[in-house]
Structure 1
């Protein structure tokens, strides 16, 4: 991080948003517009009608169809990049080169090489590069993280996680179904954030090897719509992860279960049990956010964190460096599925 002067407490952080699709409209604009210490200075999207309509709705004076014009504005402190995955790398590198801090939506990129170049550029420019891994900011996930950090559950030796959607409930943008734009299928969409959350909750052990299987039952673009994998770590812990867009099941289901030598925890909804004096005791905090609020709150806390890091000149949680390592593991997972064998990471 640069030795920049921290902003005054009453000085607003000036943000630009590039990409005005679903995630920007549902999350970024509503959340940013309600933050008293933030001003959305300008927005950009190639769709002229869309960007003009959103600028009018949120009373944003400057809007562009060319993102380079937004990046040329000196007063902008940070940029949110909410474009399709194939544009993450070039726009991030341009934004960092223009002296902006960057928050880019997940996944960071389509490949490890792209992610590596992005992280290296952030380091070179001495700017923050944050990746939108919002699940880390769920109130229940943050509580569970504190239990793990405090060794309350002992050594975490096994984690089971998944994000399973029933067939017909998946309603992502069309670009997410195209490999050249998204980088892959359901694993890029749901698997990357669950992999990141699981490893973060396990206190970031180093991945030793992966074995995965992927299925393409319904997608015409040749991308996976279901995937399952086993991940081994250097500390002998193991993670089983499953994701799908197309299961024939009653409801969608997202979960992360951690098991340690002193206790276990289930996320969504949060339940924590510990062995105490020979008995298994429920130690789940009683004052918790309602489960249905966790997802929305995760985005609010995530965006606030990025703004606070700009304001006080602090490093971000969920950095480009961390995301690049996740992409290195992701490439091994795709390689394992293709070659039908375990892949050992070097």
Structure 2
């Protein structure tokens, strides 16, 4: 397995000292220059050179539980991660960089200890169980569409990751050297992810859709909070609350009967419709309805024709066809009894027409 080698050197210029970190690619054939211009978010690729310095200071130091970074890499690929579901971790590619950090979301005040692992197109977030010396899966963040910026702090070692459909995360590195490596490494791989999207995104979505197994549904629910949803409007999806249920269904306006495949996502107060393109490369927003302004009634419960109808004062009747009896029963349960899944009942404004038409 290849690895990223790190070395530090100090050069005196006009009576001042400047730290320069060299991030060497697999095999040591190229190196990245990290200078004081990192605040501009730029990466400069030097001409291929031969590595002449040994990366022992950072790469060989103990990072966690008495293990070096390379030993932790091997640990991740050979030992089970608590809560991991879906494809093997090997499918994410080679590990670019990893380290222990402090992290919080934009809505939290306290930082939590996390071990983050950078892959070519994703950032793996793990919590740490020091008693058992084990990792716990916390999420997989796709890099496509993300942005990185420095966050002013006393230590100067904090940065923020944000995206159009992702809650921003504040990450505090444990040293200036780690900060430089993380910022520029993530910036470079965001560029790569953007260049390869949506080809890379298809690897995830096509694996989970159709979501014909429970673990796929759970994985897809988590994925929606960390991926870019095209054409999204309104407040971020993270602010809609916990997803109660998700199903792939066929949807049509009752007057037309022209069914379209849709992903039906039930939140505490909203019903959201999403679509997946034919190539299974991306997810798009198709509309949202407040549960307080709609009703659902059975149309047919005959096996092979599991249909119900959604009606509301400001929306045309919508016919929904489910592929399994479980999807049919769960969708009707949540839609017919919204008061049982709301923590508190609040006064709602008049229901509004969905932002997007379900015909497209």
Q: Same fold (TM over 0.5)?
A: no
TM-score, normalising length: structure 2: 0.27
Give the number of the structure whose residues are more often strand, by fraction.
2
TM-score, normalising length: structure 1: 0.28
Q: Which has the higher contact order (CA 8 A, sep 6+)?
A: 1
Give the number of the structure whose residues are more often helix, by fraction.
1
Larger Rg: 2
